[in-house]
Amino acid sequence: MAAFRVFGVSLLVTALALVAGYAHGGLNALFLLVALAVLEVSLSFDNAIINAAVLQRLSRFWRQMFLTVGILIAVFGMRLVFPLLLVWATAGVEPVRAFELALNPPPHGALEFPDGSPSYEKLVVAAHPQIAAFGGIFLLMLFLDFVVQDREIKWLKWIEIPFARIGRLGQVSVAVAAVALVLAGTMLTHSTEERATVLTAGLLGLVTYLVVNGLSRAFQPLDVEATGGPGLALAAGKAGLTLFLYLEVLDAAFSFDGVTGAFAITSDPIVIALGLGLVGSMFVRSITIYLVQQDALDRYVYLEHGAHWAIGALSVIMLLSIEPHFEIPEVFTASVGVVFIGAALAWSVLRNRRIAKGA
């Protein structure tokens, strides 16, 4: 019953999105919409777990904001407006004109119109190196900051313990991410102009992470347990707003691979917004809320570790994809996350059984 309450809205939204998709483009659009929704959910299990770790620190008000305003940002911001702004920034095509190009693609799936002008899909794909550099470095920083912390509970001890020791040096994450960016920018690009855009985008990803993560720490609520209060204070006010923005930036970074990968399925912005944004994002948010309500991260202590290792793998894949000829199927990318999280869940269950037997 609890699961139905959490996923009920997502199921209703899915039904409405399917109706809208059929009205927009018939059975073909309906099939593409379902394929995109499955793609988004399969790619975002790690996103849901990381979101849950942040969301359990938020007050009830900001949790509701994440489910309402947050979903609007995910659907219309990242899945509809962001590609249009990207085309505007990289190709100089105004958003309105880009939207017209998206709604009226060249015949027979061509990447160019008969007059030689590029299609919307070609313009977005051409901007992939910048997207991959920004998102890859942002997610790499998220992974590195997790593994260099000396945590009481460790999953892959043979590698997490050495990482934690190295982390004592300070700013290790920034140094490793900067080296990774330089290597990607110099070895995976083929022109001075492309190298400059990749390095600039990656630097912006690094700065964005440092700023957002720094603000979230600055406004982190105090541990009222130390003063005799009950547990951790939930973030509200400025702290809640900062963590909410942090969640939205995380969602944006996670959505980059889905948005660009969606063009392997369709370039129709309406279908992408409905499939990736509305259906996919709603289910990811429902999974996040369910994890929080079930205290899943406390019961299965290695889940967060598995999600971060999946993020590390995803960041490497995104950086490697800067090279145009380096293509990894979406099935493989999604499988990496499923394998890490599935293994972490299995290890958590075994740990709980050992503890129960010992007790």
* 3-state per-residue secondary structure call for the chain: CHHHHHHHHHHHHHHHHHHHHHHHHHHHHHHHHHHHHHHHHHHCHHHHHHHHHHHCCECHHHHHHHHCHHHHHHHHHHHHHHHHHHHHHHHCCCHHHHHHHHHCCCHHHCCECCCCCECHHHHHHHCHHHHHHHHHHHHHHHHHHHHCCCCCCCCCHHHHHHHHHHHCCCCHHHHHHHHHHHHHHHHCCCCHHHHHHHHHHHHHHHHHHHHHHHHHHHCCCCCHHHHCCCCCCCECHHHHHHHHHHHHHHHHHHHHHHHHHHHHCCCCHHHHHHHHHHHHHHHHHHHHHHHHHCCHHHHCCCHHHHHHHHHHHHHHHHHHCCCCCCCCCHHHHHHHHHHHHHHHHHHHHHHHHHHHHHC
Q: Give the residue, 173 or 68, on which the prediction is more confident.
A: 173
Q: What is the pLDDT of residue 347?
A: 92
Mean per-residue pLDDT, 249-254? 73
- Highest-confidence range of 17-31, 215-229, 251-265, by mean pLDDT? 17-31
Contacts of 305 (CB under 8 A, 6+ apart): 146, 153, 154, 155, 156, 160, 344
Q: What is the pLDDT of residue 171?
A: 84
Q: What is the pLDDT of residue 228?
A: 36
pLDDT tens digits, 144-162? 988 888 888 888 888 888 8
Mean per-residue pLDDT, 219-247? 58
Mean per-residue pLDDT, 294-320? 86
**Please, what's the largest Cα pairwise distance for the chain?**
75
Confidence category of residue 325, pLDDT binned at 50, 70, 90: confident
Q: What is the pLDDT of residue 202?
A: 92
Is pLDDT at 232 greater than 50 in this prediction? no
Mean per-residue pLDDT, 223-238? 47
> What residues does each domain of the chain span?
2-107+122-358
pLDDT tens digits, 171-222? 889 999 999 999 999 998 888 888 999 999 999 989 988 887 777 666 655 4
297 vs 51: CA distance, rounded Å: 11
Q: What is the pLDDT of residue 3?
A: 66
pLDDT tens digits, 91-134? 777 888 888 877 777 876 677 877 778 887 788 778 888 888 88
Q: What is the pLDDT of residue 176?
A: 93
Is pLDDT at 267 greater than 70 in this prediction? no
Q: What is the pLDDT of residue 258?
A: 67
Q: What is the pLDDT of residue 219?
A: 61
pLDDT tens digits, 310-319? 888 888 988 9
Is pLDDT at 57 greater than 80 in this prediction? no
Q: What percent of the chain has pLDDT over 90?
A: 8
Which range has the worst mean pLDDT, 11-15, 43-47, 132-136, 284-288?
Answer: 43-47
* pTM check: above 0.75: yes
Q: What is the pLDDT of residue 196?
A: 92
Mean per-residue pLDDT, 302-328? 85
Q: How far is CA 185 from CA 132, 133, 199, 201, 207, in A?
A: 11, 8, 6, 10, 17
Half-sphere exposure of 115 (CA within 13 A, CB side): 2
Q: What is the pLDDT of residue 264?
A: 62
- Average pLDDT of the chain? 80
Q: What is the pLDDT of residue 220?
A: 57
Q: What is the pLDDT of residue 199?
A: 94
